[in-house]
Structure 1
């Protein structure tokens, strides 16, 4: 049985969602505050998070952002009465996998939940050692051959994504969807800019470059021989 963690402070809305998802065969745990949601999410038993943005003790997106920094990749569906394009983009940028503005039909909620649960799961170790790189996703730290790397959360997530696919071409579209959470391709060079910054941090003078550009396609992580 699929376990879904629902974080929603409105009792009526929460009850409707719990009843509908339970009827569809899912097990639902409900929390109404950020404080209680953090503990439940960190238990790592949920297959999916449904997170309301406006909670009585803070912003639901902060929960998702912190979990991503900690290396927790549980898919997250964001619910919000804030439905502008900027709000949706922000929800995806912090690590949300989908965004559903309120009010919504329960049938659409169920369809989005099922779509997220159909996505292929990846093994997500929280400690990753590949070649000279050592990534500790829970601690939010990284090093190369013992040299600490001062990476921002987005850079750590980007490096994590690339090093899990050594020798394979990672396209810009893949990175935009899986690292930034975009369901569309923006007219910008955001990926190239972040890759450039990441390279400057992980490749010191005299070290073999780890991320190689493939013209017109994307990037490849090469493990030094």
Structure 2
């Protein structure tokens, strides 16, 4: 039996996020998507609930709606800043990313002036939101970018960035996780089972042929030119390797 292969991001600490929003749909769907992207997530429906959660267990980052039933997000951040609780291993206040439907420049300036680290308006693109979360965490937690390089393909996991021959390539979150796993194991053949375990996680109960489908998506986006980097090992799985010298 081959020993289990662990992708690089499984060895990194999981960042804890706190989503604060009074809309039940956002509070249900956004945490689910962020957990799927590899974060640990708690949710709160009001400003006071958010302050209570942050007091019990300080998050690494707060996604904070401005429009809340008991106090606005600006008041929440005032109170967080008035009683800072640094996260172990990181100095300073817990970072805040405002997530709101209010687009006025005054609101953005006010939020940033009060100590917000970023501001994104609804409706938002999930991939952009995840990239911004990683960028804020990188700045506040002092995490150096971990770049994976194979031939002319370059992947930066923390920023959800990918380039091929210097050209930006846009991937879905699942495509990105799959490519990251393949690049982290470059030169080693990985089976469909290993891919399912590490990309779709252990609770995946669907058709294993989804791996072939997503490999074809990656090939259309990443492997349109030369050299070809994604290779099929018939009867076994897939391997990424650069051009033979």
TM-score, reference length from structure 1 = 0.52
Matched, 1:92 2:112: yes
Q: Distance in 2 between matches of 1:104 and 1:61?
A: 20
Distance 1:119 1:3 in 2: 16
> 2:140 and 2:95 mapped to 1: Cα distance?
11
Q: Distance in 2 between matches of 1:110 and 1:44?
A: 22
Match of 1:36 in 2: 49
Task: Judge conservation of contact 2:16–2:61 (CA < 8 Å) in 1.
Answer: yes
2:97 equivalent in structure 1 = 77
What is the RMSD computed on CA atoms of the aligned residues? 1.4
Task: State the SS of the aligned residue for 2:62.
Answer: strand
Measured against aligned partners, the alpha-carbon deviations of 1:145-189 in whole angstroms (never above 9, x if no partner) come to xxxxxxxxxxxxxxxxxxxxxxxxxxxxxxxxxxxxxxxxxxxxx
Say whether residues 1:118 and 2:131 are aligned partners.
no
In the alignment, which residue of structure 2 is the partner of 1:207?
Answer: none
Aligned partners of 2:35 and 2:105: how far apart in 1?
31
Superposed, 1:73-222 pairs within 5 Å as 73-121=93-141
Give 1:55's aligned residue: 68
Q: Which has the higher Rg, Structure 1 or Structure 2?
A: 2
SS at match of 1:39: helix
Q: What SS does the corresponding residue of 2:42 show, helix, strand or coil?
A: strand
Question: How many residues are matched?
Answer: 122
Aligned to 1:156: none
TM-score (norm 2): 0.47
Long gaps (5+) in structure 1: 123-225
Specify which structure has the higher proportion of strand: 1
